[in-house]
């Protein structure tokens, strides 16, 4: 009994001695965390709460906000002629561009994961378009797809097409033109690098086992590579859909929402309401609606991922 009491006394003394050191460690930890906390509170939480309040007001920056309750949200669903069409265009852009981009990046990464000569040079060439600023890319593609003197239309005319598409100037082809430009810039970019990292994390012994069983290259791709890449596919799909739904710069620079509202995406609609029409309260309501949609869609994708994403060794 005395020995047990002595042990408790020693433990209590050690805790008392270590307590000041632990407090100083906590103090320094929070001290180094302070810049991030200040930024998080001042640049994210603070503006977010403010925008939530402004979404319930009529506000034009020049005069004080007037509280109007949920009128902005009612207007959004019932009295905004571009609200639903802009959502449809955004879904069209993301629904076509994101799957094509993810699949293109994956198969490009598979090709560039093989042991071939000048492999670093090929990887660099495919990655270079993503280094081009988006505004410069738009200028380049507007020249390539120009109705009269664009290289693409000249090539199509030389092949016998009398009336080639109008591309950015044609309502039917404006969004496909933006999708093509996005694929050119994005397929060999960050998504490809992430897929390469995922490919290099697949154990080589699985391919060896498949070879012993007589699997062809296609069978290895379908039964080994793609299943073990599903976490990477899921990650890139999440980021791609979020980025696709938020598309703004390309449409703003290339067409400013035209022709005839053909590329008037939701983010562009929000921008126009805020900075062209000075409906800041209504723009804040649009932003909060959009944030809820993106978060809900992400959570839905995460729930679905349990059915098709395979985590090797998990």
Reported confidence tier of residue 83, pLDDT bands at 50, 70, 90: very high
Task: Give the residue carrying structure tokens 């402004």.
Answer: 54
Q: Name the pTM for this structure.
A: 0.87
Residue 18 has pLDDT above 90, yes or no: no
Same domain, 195 and 256: yes
- Rounded distance, CA 192 to CA 183, Å? 12
Residue 307, preceding peptide bond in cis (omega within 30° of 0): no
- The number of distinct structural domains making up the chain is 2
End-to-end alpha carbon distance in the chain: 47
Strand, helix or coil at 79?
coil
Cα-atom radius of gyration of the chain, to the nearest Å? Answer: 27
Q: What is the pLDDT of residue 8?
A: 47
In a domain, 205, yes or no: yes
Reported confidence tier of residue 116, pLDDT bands at 50, 70, 90: confident
Same domain, 221 and 151: yes
- Rounded distance, CA 271 to CA 63, Å? 20
In a domain, 313, yes or no: no
Reported confidence tier of residue 20, pLDDT bands at 50, 70, 90: confident
Beta partners for residue 57, in sequence order: 67
Same domain, 218 and 294: yes
In a domain, 65, yes or no: no
In a domain, 62, yes or no: no
**Contacts from 225-231 at CB under 8 Å and sequence distance 24+?**
225/110, 225/199, 227/310, 228/198, 228/202, 228/310, 228/312, 229/106, 229/195, 229/198, 229/199, 229/202, 230/308, 230/309, 230/310, 231/198, 231/309, 231/310, 231/311
Same domain, 109 and 256: yes
In a domain, 154, yes or no: yes
Q: In terms of Cα–Cα distance, which of 245, 246, 250, 233 is closest to 105?
A: 233
In a domain, 90, yes or no: yes
Residue 122 has pLDDT above 90, yes or no: no
Crossing angle of helices 119-127 and 190-200, in 10° steps, is 140
Give the mean model confidence (pLDDT) for residues 137-148.
91
CATH of the domain at 210: 1.10.3720.10
In a domain, 97, yes or no: yes
Q: Which of 192-196, 214-218, 244-248 has the lowest mean pLDDT?
A: 214-218
- Inter-residue contact 192 to 226 (CB < 8 Å): no
Task: Give the residue carrying structure tokens 């561009």.
Answer: 97
Q: Which of 115-119, 185-189, 241-245 has the lowest mean pLDDT?
A: 115-119
Q: What is the pLDDT of residue 5?
A: 52
In a domain, 314, yes or no: no
Reported confidence tier of residue 120, pLDDT bands at 50, 70, 90: confident
Same domain, 47 and 92: no
Residue 247 has pLDDT above 60, yes or no: yes
Residue 185 has pLDDT above 60, yes or no: yes
Q: Give the pLDDT confidence of 271-306 residue by residue, as tens digits.
A: 999 999 999 999 999 999 999 999 999 999 999 998
Q: Give the pLDDT confidence of 59-76 residue by residue, as tens digits.
A: 998 899 999 999 999 999
φ, ψ of residue 86 to 5 degrees: the values are: -65, -35
Task: Give the residue carrying structure tokens 């590579």.
Answer: 225
Same domain, 126 and 193: yes
Q: Domain range holding 20?
A: 2-54
- Inter-residue contact 229 to 106 (CB < 8 Å): yes
Give the mean model confidence (pLDDT) for residues 78-96.
96
Which conformational region is residue 132 in: left (phi greater than 0), alpha (psi within -120 to 50 degrees), or beta?
Answer: beta
- Inter-residue contact 251 to 263 (CB < 8 Å): yes
Reported confidence tier of residue 16, pLDDT bands at 50, 70, 90: low
């Amino acid at each position: 009994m005395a020995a047990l009491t002595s042990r408790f006394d020693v433990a209590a003394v050690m805790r008392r001695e270590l307590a000041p050191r632990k407090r100083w460690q906590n103090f320094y930890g929070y001290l180094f965390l302070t810049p991030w906390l200040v930024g998080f509170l001042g640049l994210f939480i603070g503006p977010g709460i403010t925008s939530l309040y402004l979404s319930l007001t009529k506000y034009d920056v020049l005069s004080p906000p007037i509280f109007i309750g949920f009128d902005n949200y009612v207007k959004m669903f019932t009295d905004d002629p571009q609200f639903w069409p802009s959502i449809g265009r955004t879904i069209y852009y993301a629904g076509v561009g994101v799957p094509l981009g993810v699949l293109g990046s994956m198969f490009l990464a598979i090709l560039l994961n093989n042991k071939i000569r000048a492999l670093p040079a090929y990887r660099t060439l495919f990655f270079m378009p993503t280094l081009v600023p988006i505004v410069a890319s738009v200028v380049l593609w507007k020249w390539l797809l120009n109705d009269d003197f664009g290289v693409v239309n000249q090539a199509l005319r030389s092949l016998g097409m009398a009336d080639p598409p109008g591309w950015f100037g044609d309502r039917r082809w404006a969004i496909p033109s933006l999708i093509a430009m996005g694929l050119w810039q994005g397929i060999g970019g960050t998504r490809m690098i992430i897929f390469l990292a995922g490919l290099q994390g697949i154990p080589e012994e699985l391919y060896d086992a498949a070879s012993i069983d007589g699997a062809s290259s296609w069978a290895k791709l379908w039964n080994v590579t793609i299943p073990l890449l599903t976490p990477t596919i899921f990650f890139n799909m999440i980021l791609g859909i979020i980025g696709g739904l938020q598309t703004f710069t390309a449409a703003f620079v290339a067409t400013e929402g035209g022709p005839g509202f053909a590329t008037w995406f939701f983010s562009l609609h929000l921008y126009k309401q805020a900075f062209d029409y000075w409906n800041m309260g209504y723009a804040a309501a649009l932003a909060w609606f959009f944030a809820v949609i993106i978060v809900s869609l992400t959570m839905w994708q995460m729930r679905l991922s349990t059915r098709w994403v395979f985590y090797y060794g998990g």
